[in-house]
Amino acid sequence: MSATSVDLITQEIVEAALTSAAQEMGGALKFSSYSPIIRDMEDFSCAIFTFDGDLVAQADYIPAQLGAMSLVVKSVIKEWQTDINDNDIFICNHPYQGAMHLPDINVVAPVFFDGEIVAWAGTAAHHIDVGGVNPGSEGPDLKELFAEGLVIPPTRLYIKGEENIDLVKTITANIRDPLSTISDLRAQRAACNLGRNRLLELIETYGNAVLQQVFTNSLDSVEAAIKYRLRELSDGVGDAIGYLDDDGRNGPPTKVRVQVTKLGDSLTIDLSGSDPQVAGAMNVPWSSTRAGIVYAVRTVLAPELGTNDGLLRALNVICPQGNVLNPFPPAAVSVRHNTCQRFADTAIRALVDLWPDLQVAGSSVTFFGCNIGTTSPSTGQPTVLADVVGGGTGASAEYDGLDGVDTYMSNVGLMPVEVLETNYQVRVLKTELIDGSGGIGQHHGGMGIRREYQILEHSQHATFYAEQTNPEFVALGRNGGGDGEPAKLTLLDKNGDIVPIPSKVSMDLEPESVIRVETSGGGGFGLPER
């Protein structure tokens, strides 16, 4: 398409309209979804893409999803090429074709104008179950992707506006709570249609040529801004190492190493020093590693900058396949988010190792996840509880850390007790901040959370896992600040006796059993005032 001159005011107006469209898509998805993990915890993302799949505008929901979604759009384009029709809607959750892990389902839609694709609207949302061995479709000890659930490559969910009934029947037959999943997929489709309508309205107002030039300018400006910021900073090398407690199967700690080299306006990020892919489900597909890179660079260099795929143009990334951050298929990846959290923490430490003036203390990477195959108290039908519990963020030179938030790559909310107890045969006995769990300092680290889940009525299969339970791998303090406290995972039987368990487990639980999680606190910053 030929270049079109766009004045700065028009550029700003259209860019703001694109971001607004993504945010409006998020509102439509949130308020029309069925599952609490989407509706109440906001585990979803929405974005706008160029005609060839580059992410150009996004609503800030889940960093782990937003840095990856453009790879799904590009996979759809590659798979279907010229066989893409107006009003088609595509679905994909394949981690080795751009998605993240199987429960995070991407639904994307082409935007046609004058018979050509001019843009894409897309959503990613965490679904409570997509089949597999365990309720919730996650298992730290699983060894292959095929055990984790239904794998969907780029496929048409809607064909020229009509729902693909054969696909819907296939999905329905392979999942535990089809009402929730199919309803949420339809909510994603509605959000995509809203995004498409907003893009067509912009074309009607400004013309397609202007829209395409705004896309180009947006990508170029983010690339230029990152390179300008890099030129302001000193050249040098940063290096950091972090460890996961294990490999997901009670094996040895897994190393994540990030080396960064800055020269002029270029930044090289070398991940080749990380451990090889592991036997369990802690491996990170390339899409999620890419998202972690975008997150860490934006967080340290330009947190105020609207992000798009232009940021990646300033980066050179080294990560050979077979690495835990870039595994060969069909390695299991369902619990990759714990590794993502450790990777984000390590990447930020490597960057501030290079530029100490930007340093901040370490944050919780516990990322306690809990999936319980249960039943609905109102209908008696099978369903799945999916909850996430955050921890404390690290303090900085100016502020204390935040208490009880989902740190780094996640950003989802804690499920409200009323919602949890209304929808599942589970009772929450306790939810509270853990006093003293954050590191002390001139500014204190944020506190972790203690939460207890009691199993009710009948035996239920649960998968639950946590990181940072090893005291050697706690959130580190900075500039004399204290380290945060480690996480702790406890299982109590119906008599209140402690049952020995590893930090990642999938097992049947009898009624009156209690899962207690205590997430880690953030590190403190600076010497404590005497």
Considering the domain boundaries, does residue 243 fall inside one?
A: no
Domain boundary residue, one of 223, 253, 283: 223
Considering the domain boundaries, does residue 514 fall inside one?
A: yes
Give the tens place of pLDDT for each residue, 44-64: 999 999 999 999 999 878 887
φ, ψ (nearest 5 deg) of residue 488: -145, 135
Q: Judge residue 417's burial from the number of C-beta atoms within 10 Å of its C-beta, 0-12 exposed, 13-18 middle, 19 or more buried.
A: middle
φ, ψ (nearest 5 deg) of residue 297: -65, -45
Three-state SS string across 212-246, please?
HHHHHHHHHHHHHHHHHHHHHCCCEEEEEEEEECC
Q: Is the pLDDT of residue 307 over 70?
A: yes
- Residue in the block written with tokens 């639980």: 509
Structural domain count of the chain? 2
Q: How far apart are CA 511 and CA 456, in angstroms?
A: 5
Residues 517 and 368 in one domain: yes
Q: Report cis status (omega within 30 of 0) of the bond before 330.
A: yes
Mean pLDDT of 236-245: 97
Give the tens place of pLDDT for each residue, 339-372: 999 999 999 999 999 998 899 999 999 999 999 9
Considering the domain boundaries, does residue 13 fall inside one?
A: yes
Considering the domain boundaries, does residue 468 fall inside one?
A: yes
pLDDT band at 67 (very low <50, low <70, confident <90, very high): confident
- What pLDDT does 530 receive? 65
DSSP code for 276: B
Neighbours of 37 (CB within 10 A): 26
DSSP code for 457: S
- What pLDDT does 3 receive? 63
Mean pLDDT of 9-22: 96
Domain boundary residue, one of 188, 223, 258: 223
Please give the distance of CA 493 from its chain centroid, rounded to a whole number.
Answer: 33
Q: Is the pLDDT of residue 114 over 50?
A: yes
Give the tens place of pLDDT for each residue, 271-296: 999 999 999 999 999 999 999 999 99
Q: Is the pTM of this model over 0.75?
A: yes
Q: Note down the domain range covering 479.
A: 359-530
Considering the domain boundaries, does residue 266 fall inside one?
A: no
Give the tens place of pLDDT for each residue, 417-447: 999 999 999 999 999 999 999 999 999 999 9
Q: How far apart are CA 219 and CA 50, in angstroms?
A: 10
Considering the domain boundaries, does residue 413 fall inside one?
A: yes
- Residue in the block written with tokens 């790879």: 71
Considering the domain boundaries, does residue 155 fall inside one?
A: yes
Considering the domain boundaries, does residue 142 fall inside one?
A: yes
pLDDT band at 1 (very low <50, low <70, confident <90, very high): very low
Mean pLDDT of 139-143: 96
Q: How far apart are CA 9 and CA 529, in angstroms?
A: 49
Domain boundary residue, one of 155, 189, 223: 223
Q: What is the mean pLDDT of the chain?
A: 95
Neighbours of 179 (CB within 10 A): 15
Cβ–Cβ < 8 Å for 72, 227? no
Q: Judge residue 79's burial from the number of C-beta atoms within 10 Å of its C-beta, 0-12 exposed, 13-18 middle, 19 or more buried.
A: middle
Give the tens place of pLDDT for each residue, 143-192: 999 999 999 999 999 999 999 999 999 999 999 999 999 999 999 999 99
